[in-house]
Amino acid sequence: MDHYLLALWNSISSGEVKVKELADTLFLSTKQTRRKLNQWQAAGWLTFEAGRGRGNHSTLLWNKDVESAYEQQFLAHLEKYSIQEVSKLLLYQWSTETKQRLMTRFQSKFGFHQEGQDRLIIPRFYRFLTYHPLKAADVHSANLIANIYNRVVALEEDNTIIPELAHRWEVTDKKLTLYLRKDVAFHDGSILKAEDVVQSFFRMKQDEIYAELWKPISKIYSSAPLIVEIEFPNGCTYILPLLSMITASIYKESNGQVIGTGSFYMGENSEEKTVLHAFKQYYGERPLLDTVEFIQVSREFGNVYYGAHESREVGTFEVESDSGFGIVVMNSYRHSDIARKEVRDYIHMLIDENRSQISTINSLISENHSGCLIGYSKPYSMPRIAKPSLSKPLQMKYTGYTKDVSIWLKNILKRAGIKVELGEVSFHDAVYHDHLKGSADIFIHGEIFELNQSFSYFNFMKNNFSPLRKLTQSDLFLQKCIQAYDQLPFEKWMDQHLRIENYLITNSLCIPLYYSKRQIPFSINLMNIKLKHFGYVDLSKLWMKPKF
């Protein structure tokens, strides 16, 4: 199957043509196009007669219905080849009606497979950026990591600390002692030692992204087999929540591979698919699924999880989870008009007046008139103020997932007489570099908290991936507020969070914009769907009613 031939079929009808027109349609050179035409003519797909003389039109006559023939080949491939191979064919330039039919048939291959093994196949729209714990700055990667690695402890939504690799611990004002489980196996078969935990903590402490979080900690060492000691002479009230972070997962590096102890291990991670296999030697409860495959598909593909043995008429139910919130960040440290509070306040006022319309962009987002701390932030409103003068257009940046809402905001500012120059930044650069934090006067950021809201807000303010990092580094009030957490008991953090949030809103630095939801339809035969980190399904708990 030649995607160029299908693209030509759906773009050019029989009749007079110019070779350059065909070449432009296929994004090929005229030489490459002529070669392709000769091949297709030899295969009987078309008849091509070159125009005689300079500037004369050529003639193209279609002999066969290319799309109809290719549709039959696609369906044959679907029965014969692996899903990841067939998924590439969906990226061809099909007509709308044909693509919908193919996607319906393709989707029937997704879901739960019971072919000797219990295998769940999930559509993947983008490749995971990483599965290294210290490099995970996006929720998709973090969800993957949560299934491959363990931490020494976990922090629940209600502030409860529960054991994982550590079965017990003792904590004082200056020291934490962890007692590790016996005979915990890594995915390569080696046994977890205290030194592995010490090395994982050292790497996180030395990492530039998380070094600030680890500043209170002076020593990390093993005093005896399966015992890890962590010292913090000046106090660290958040030591256990710190160790519960997904990025504090315990891992070892061997032969260029990053290896964990989690309920699944990485089987494959390529452009076409990511495969997780159940780890049979897992120290905890073994997953009921044997394999989970994330297969790369086009964005148009539906996100419904069906069983392979089920028809499209099978009942489904929707699982709704929080998908975070959106904020407008104004970089007051920049040498531009955005440094002036009256400019930021005026933009803030415009946002406040138009927030209620934001759900028209996407039905899964709703206006946020309060703040980022659900259940604690209080509603507020902005007074009307006069429009200030601006010396030049504001620089506004966006990345893929904020495109629509960024255009919406730009149009609001434009109607109010504020000129904005809008530019796109790749998702990778937005996550790992300072392209948004450094080169934009204003941008929209979407954030999803891990599980525990209180510690997540602290991490959101302090880690070097934070969209507010440059702001907190340049603002003395914020620096003092963040330093106060070192001595403040964890259970009293919410008042400090609200103090910081009020400062950010009052000074029009970080403006709440929307709440976001995620809705995923599941087959009624998929059991034990539980949401965990970042609002994603806990894969280790899923199981499927068998087909009888």
Domain boundaries, the chain: 3-64, 79-145+264-315+524-548, 150-261, 320-517
Instruction: Evaluate if residue 177 carries a pLDDT over 70.
Output: yes
Whose CA is closest to 379, among 412, 395, 355? 355
Q: Which fold has domain 79-145+264-315+524-548?
A: D-Maltodextrin-Binding Protein; domain 2 (3.40.190)
- Helix (H/G/I), strand (E/B), else coil: 148: helix
CA 151/CA 201 separation, integer angstroms: 10
Q: Which fold has domain 150-261?
A: Dipeptide-binding Protein; domain 1 (3.90.76)
In CATH terms, the superfamily for domain 320-517 is Dipeptide-binding Protein; Domain 3 (3.10.105.10)
CA 317/CA 340 separation, integer angstroms: 50
pLDDT tens per residue across span 184-241? 999 888 899 999 999 999 999 999 888 889 999 999 999 999 999 999 999 899 999 9
Instruction: Evaluate if residue 170 carries a pLDDT over 80.
Output: yes
How buried is residue 262: exposed, middle or buried, by Cβ count under 10 Å (0-12/13-18/19+)? buried
At residue 188, the pLDDT reads 87
Of the pLDDT bands very low, low, confident and very high (cuts 50, 70, 90), residue 366 is very high
- Helix (H/G/I), strand (E/B), else coil: 323: strand
Of the pLDDT bands very low, low, confident and very high (cuts 50, 70, 90), residue 140 is confident
Whose CA is closest to 13, among 68, 71, 62? 62
Q: Options 1.10.10.10, 2.60.40.3500, 3.40.50.2300, 3.90.78.10; which CATH number does 3-64 get?
A: 1.10.10.10
Instruction: Evaluate if residue 493 carries a pLDDT over 90.
Output: yes
Task: Pick from 99-113, 297-311, 325-339 the range whose average pLDDT is largest.
Answer: 325-339
At residue 112, the pLDDT reads 47
Comparing 78-92, 323-337, 343-357, the range with the smallest average pLDDT is 78-92
Sheet with 365-367, side-by-side order of all strands: 365-367, 510-523, 316-330, 442-447, 394-398, 420-424
CA 356/CA 179 separation, integer angstroms: 51
How buried is residue 114: exposed, middle or buried, by Cβ count under 10 Å (0-12/13-18/19+)? middle
Of the pLDDT bands very low, low, confident and very high (cuts 50, 70, 90), residue 301 is low
Q: What are the φ and ψ backbone dihedral angles of 148, each rounded to 5 degrees?
A: -105, -30
pLDDT tens per residue across span 382-402? 999 999 999 999 999 998 889
Asked whether the domain spanning 150-261 has the same topology as the one spanning 3-64, the reply is no
The CA-based angle 507-513-515, given to 5 degrees, is 135
Task: Pick from 89-93, 180-184, 274-278, 516-520 the range whose average pLDDT is largest.
Answer: 180-184
Comparing 86-95, 276-285, 509-518, the range with the smallest average pLDDT is 86-95
CA 220/CA 242 separation, integer angstroms: 14
